[in-house]
Structure 1
Amino acid sequence: MYFDQSPYEVKLDWGRRGARAAAERGDIVIIVDVLSFSSTVVTAVQHKANIYPYPPPINETAKAYAKELGAEMVWGRSEAIRVGGHSLSPLSFSSADYARDFVLCSLNGAACTWIAAQVPALLVGCLLNASAVADTANRLKLEMDVNITVIPCGEKWSDVKEGEDELRPGIEDYLGAGLILSRLAGTKSPEAEVCIGAVKSSGHRIRDLIWESASGRELRERGYEDDVTYCCQADISYAVPVLQENRFVNAGDPV
């Protein structure tokens, strides 16, 4: 027998496996990858850029896809320093990117997006747009009469041994998911309720907890303190990326 959260309207599932389960159920999906896929996509869409997600890694196939679209690649932070251009740092996007096309690969957020691409609606959420993405998901839920799954993407262990799970849950994604879940309407699974509880118990310490988390420390030690500071801000953006015709656009903009 397969056990899941199907009795509930609002669910929480982790990573690529969770994205697949949500897609099989036909749920609205909200992808949450705070550091940094979601925060980068929200920021880029806020500046009216078009983001085409593509599964990792950045290889010749991904580059050929970008060339076919006439789009620019979004590089990893270190690679962007070497070759120039935009990176997974949300701060690399600005108003100068209006109407420009980009292909974005990432190990977690883009991979989960690719798996769940055929759901009724796929949104991107993070701390930056928590209220806005929840409002949009609530509206779509009523219009489409379907349920919602929030997917914190987590990270991948770099030293996985045979038989071990490569998913490393990240508290930054759990807290981002919890803030969004707290604003969603409908019956919530125990998994979703516990995630909301984590946000409530964290209170005003969310920024400090993410700052000192494994993911936060990794970025800070690589010199990206500004990214962590930026991504920890709640409800500063009204942009809601929605996947339409293989690209993310703002849900509030005409297509």
Structure 2
Amino acid sequence: MRQWYQELFSNYAEKYEAEIFTQGTLGEVDFLESEINYDKNCKILDLGCGTGRHAIELVKRGYHVTGVDLSENMLSKARENARKAGVEIDFMKADARNLPFKNEFDMVIMICEGAFPLMETDEMNFQILECAARALNSRGKLIFTTLNGLFPVFHSVKDFINSNSDSQTNRENTFDLMTFRDQYQLDIEGDDGSKMTLDCNERYYVPSEITWLLKSLDFSNVDIYGSKLGEFSRNDPLSTEDYEMLVIAEYLEND
């Protein structure tokens, strides 16, 4: 049985690229570049790369990027986008919970809920963090955005999502304070015009959880900030107003 995210992304590449939350690519890549000190020798792994927007922009700027996604449909669109952009990228289909990489990359990114935290159990989400950590070299850096558990305690997730998308409707939301999971029905139209109703389940994390999970994977430095679309910054303290948080984890303290 396919999970809701597999069903969604099998028919959502074109409409995904038109969503509001995918429009901040240039500013986000500006930040990623600054985090690796503009070192063009850095090898980057983009987990949950989707249609390749971050990977393609990074390669256009001179970096070596490998893109991984579970959806062949999204990867097909990513390859098409790369051809149109005139760049060559190794896009591969793989499950982020079971990756072949070890000590290969200088930076791993998971942006806009790329892979993490969409899994149906906490153990599966942790497997993704394990694989990301294993893929990094001894001075590697992991940068990702994830759902901020402080947000739904103070706000309606349903109202936030419905006000920020023209193509999807959230309903029947049930946020569980014991598990920090939001279960809801998603009504959305696929690229082919068909209507989909999906039973979704997403995990929200509080900062202390993320810090503990990453420290358990031997990251020595974990910083968490608010995540602003297209404007990632170390100058934005995380607050209850941030739907997502920006997480930066490093194996070694900065010199």
Query: Whose strand fraction is larger, Structure 1's or Structure 2's?
Result: 2
TM over 0.5: no
TM-score of the two chains, using structure 2 as the length reference: 0.31
TM-score of the two chains, using structure 1 as the length reference: 0.31
Question: Which structure is richer in relative contact order (CA contacts within 8 A, separation 6 or more)?
Answer: 1
